[in-house]
């Protein structure tokens, strides 16, 4: 798809498609090649997948969860008996949290 490696006999419309594909690949490489932007991308993908595949159980505020000083995390009991867990380091980056034993998800507001 690299523009410099196009053959001369490629139709104009196909050249445009290839250039567009090259731009998309370049943008993806810039996002995934940087540790910070890759982390943001991965979190967004995880969130998108959760909302598509898993049922939303509740919307809660982080402050409504119990703080565990020893483990440095917030927890909330799920109706199945499992827990929703948010570690201190990810508390500002995460908005959807899975139960550790069932398919329910809570949204952190």
**Domain range 58-108, CATH class:** alpha beta
Q: Which residues contact 57 (CB under 8 A, 6 or more apart)?
A: 78, 79, 99, 104, 105, 106
Question: CA-CA distance, 87 to 90, in Å (whole number)?
Answer: 6
> pTM higher than 0.85 for the full model?
no
10-residue averages of pLDDT along the chain (109 residues): 69 81 89 88 76 74 92 92 89 82 86
Domain extent listing, the chain: 12-51, 58-108
pLDDT of 84: 93
């Amino acid at each position: 798809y690299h523009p410099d490696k196009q053959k001369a006999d490629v139709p104009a419309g196909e050249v445009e498609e290839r250039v567009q594909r090259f731009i998309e690949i370049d943008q993806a490489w810039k996002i995934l090649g940087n540790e910070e932007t890759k982390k943001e991308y991965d979190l967004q993908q995880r969130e998108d997948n959760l909302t598509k595949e898993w049922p939303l159980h509740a919307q809660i505020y982080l402050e409504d969860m119990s703080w565990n000083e020893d483990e440095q995390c917030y927890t909330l009991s799920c109706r199945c008996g499992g827990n929703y867990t948010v570690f201190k380091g990810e508390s500002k980056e995460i908005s959807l949290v899975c139960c550790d034993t069932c398919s329910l998800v809570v949204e952190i507001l």
